[in-house]
Homo-oligomer: A and B are copies of this chain.
């Protein structure tokens, strides 16, 4: 979408430049396809700007690997070798997180989710990244594993200039309220409705 004009100008004491560069909380929710893919597309833009990007996938299976992970590892390699774009870290919950030295907690996804969020909070406080992509993060919040008030407080109070993208169905109302941008991906038609299973290159 080309650069547009805002529909109204708020009385917030900020200059247009300050307002333009305000860091954002973005949420992609809804039952339709494209929540994660749009977040990864956004991460491509961040990479191109030289941003320090960190992806945290709140998925249960370590076996599940998206094509995007391979692509971003390649782009991170280009950054390391040639200095183009920015660095990208990719962390996946699976059974335990990559930074964790403990053995996989195969049977305690709740504990893994809590640990993941604690690490993200630590990094936000330390301003470690320019863009945090919390993929499928709505689920551990909705299941009560991660405290939604803590999430909202952390997002609202985050220091510096850090963007956050959250994906997943049924985003909690408090998170929607804290977001600057919310897009709902609505399913109009999906091949699975016509009996077609997911396929390589499309679903992963």
List the interface of chain A (C-beta within 8 A of B): 1-10, 12, 16, 19-22, 24, 26, 28, 30, 32-42, 44-49, 51, 59, 61, 64, 66-68, 70-71, 74-75, 78, 84-85, 130-131, 163, 176, 179-204
Copies in the complex: 2
Q: Whole-angstrom distance between the alpha carbons of A126 and B188 in the complex?
A: 31
Partner of A182, one of B38, B68, B188: B188
Given known contacts A184-B186, A202-B163, A71 and B44 CB-to-CB distance under 8 angstroms: yes
Contact assessment for B179 and A189 in the assembled complex, using a CB-CB cutoff below 8 Å? yes
Contact assessment for A49 and B34 in the assembled complex, using a CB-CB cutoff below 8 Å? no
A30 neighbours in B (Cβ, 8 Å):
186
Given known contacts A183-B34, A184-B32, A71 and B42 CB-to-CB distance under 8 angstroms: no
Given known contacts A188-B176, A192-B7, A201-B51, A33 and B181 CB-to-CB distance under 8 angstroms: yes
Given contacts A3-B197, A131-B201, A163-B202, 15 further A-B contacts (CB under 8 A): A7-B192, A8-B193, A12-B195, A19-B195, A20-B197, A32-B183, A34-B41, A42-B202, A48-B68, A48-B201, A70-B85, A74-B78, A181-B189, A182-B188, A183-B188
